[in-house]
Amino acid sequence: MKCPYCKQNDSRVIDSRSADDGATIRRRRECTSCGRRFTTYEVVEKQPLMVVKNDGRREVFKRDKILNGIIRACDKRDISLEDITNLANEIERDIRNTMEQEVSTADIGRLVMSKLKSFDEVAYIRFASVYRKFADISSFMEELRELQAHKEQKKDKL
């Protein structure tokens, strides 16, 4: 690793630690030439992931869009930002684990809804109302009935 101070190519690792829940390795290094210390971060290179929009356009996957949608759905709920972030990380991990290079917005929306259904029912309904674009009260009521059936089915398994 090149020293940012004297530009020599030789440095030694003093300490290595996991960062960002194991997604990154933080290394403290010392230059063997000038003796100064610096920090580097090692991150797994992610394959580019493209999102196919409803109109056929493609854009680069942005985890922040999922995170912002979940934050809006969880607005004024007693849910910590850490829990919301963990959910967004889990969704991104599930998307990337498919090993597909392209994913549709419909698939992303379905995955977010399935995760929200177990995470928080109110957030699920809020997200569904935007994602499914309820046209009238009957479609909204149908979604509520489906959620209630899911809840009862889950309770019966316990």
Q: Tens of pLDDT along 128-152?
A: 888 777 767 777 788 788 888 887 8
DSSP strand E in 67-135: where?
A: 102-104
Burial 140-155 (b: 16+ CB within 10 A, else e): eeebeeeeeeeeeeee
pTM: 0.63
- Beta strands 50-52; 102-104: pairing state: parallel
The 10s digit of each residue's pLDDT in 75-119 is: 999 999 999 999 999 999 899 888 889 999 999 999 999 999 889
Domain extents for the chain? 11-43, 50-157
Edge-to-edge strand ranges of the sheet holding 37-43: 11-19, 24-31, 37-43
Q: Do the Cβ atoms of 103 and 95 come closer than 8 Å?
A: yes
User: How many CA within 13 A on the CB side of residue 111?
Assistant: 19
11 strand-pairing partners: 31
> Where residue 33 falls among pLDDT bands split at 50, 70, 90?
very high
